[in-house]
Amino acid sequence: MNLQRRIWLTGASSGIGLALAELLAAEGHRLALTARRREPLLELAARYPGQILVITADLTDRDAIGEIAEQIDAAWGALDWAILNAGACEYMELPAFSASLVERVMQVNVLATANCIEAALPLLRRGTQPRLVAVGSSVTYLPLPRAEAYGASKAALRYLMQSLELDLVDEGIATTLVSPGFVETPMTANNDFPMPMQLTSARAAQRILIGLERGKREIRFPGPFIAILRLVAALPGWLRVALTKRKTGAASQHQETN
């Protein structure tokens, strides 16, 4: 039987987060689920009485994140895993470059994640086989059109996690970066471009959980899609640009996790 862990999971009310919460709850882990929408979390908690803490919060509010840590501390005294899944995507529409768009996406994907890391580390230091997990994106393998803000935020998250790995290894805290391709979620439902090799949220959650149980430093999927991205990224610059440059007629989209 798997070790019953104490896990904090953000962005848990939809998509990958909700699917992962369902898998972890079914395995008997104790979960602190954070999202802005409370109803899906309450529904899951009702199916697993006494096993789930439901905590709604704005992850860009450092004081609110501190209160989450206090609630987890009071309930369990430690964390074994912190899975930071919450994020946002907003596409750029040139020629109207928007610095405020970059700021919004960075606020959620980088600064809110940093808030959560700051709150989680003291609890992880008291945990059993502690692991810090962040959900990034396969977009970091290959620059894509309209993804200036989203890609930059996920690239920052990749560097943040890889640097943290170096500083935390001697403390016994492992790190994992999740780099998914296209996943069927509310955030991707309004995308106006093809999404090859798209996985369901349930399948993505299964891949993530298997990778975490195996202690992987990075969990990336689907394999063929990642291989294609890395291959194109290695091409000469002129050919890479010719293959990936923006096609005309795309409409702007804004999605954000709950």
Task: Please state the pTM of the whole predicted model.
Answer: 0.91
- Cα torsion angle, 141, 142, 147, 149, sign: positive
> Is 182 within 8 Å of 188 (Cβ atoms)?
yes
In eight-state DSSP terms, residue 59 is: T
The per-residue pLDDT for range 43-52, each reduced to its tens digit, is 999 999 999 9
Q: List Cβ neighbours of 125 (8 Å cut-off, separation of 6 or more).
A: 171, 173
Distance from C-alpha of 222 to C-alpha of 171, rounded to nearest angstrom? 32
pLDDT in tens, the chain (258 residues): 468 999 999 999 989 999 999 999 999 999 999 998 899 999 999 999 999 999 999 999 999 999 999 999 999 999 999 999 999 989 999 999 999 999 999 999 999 999 999 999 999 999 999 999 999 999 999 999 999 999 999 999 999 999 999 999 999 999 999 999 878 766 665 666 666 677 898 999 999 999 999 999 999 999 999 999 999 999 999 999 999 987 644 344 444 444
Give the Cα-Cα-Cα angle 30, 132, 184 (nearest 5 degrees): 75
Residue 148 tokens, joined: 């200036």
CATH 3.40.50.720 fits 6-256, yes or no: yes
Of 34, 12, 124, 116, the closest CA to residue 73 belongs to 124
Strand, helix or coil for residue 217: coil
**For the chain, what are the domain ranges?**
6-256
| Residue type, position 213, single letter | E
Q: Can you tell me which residue has the tokens 């989680």?
A: 120
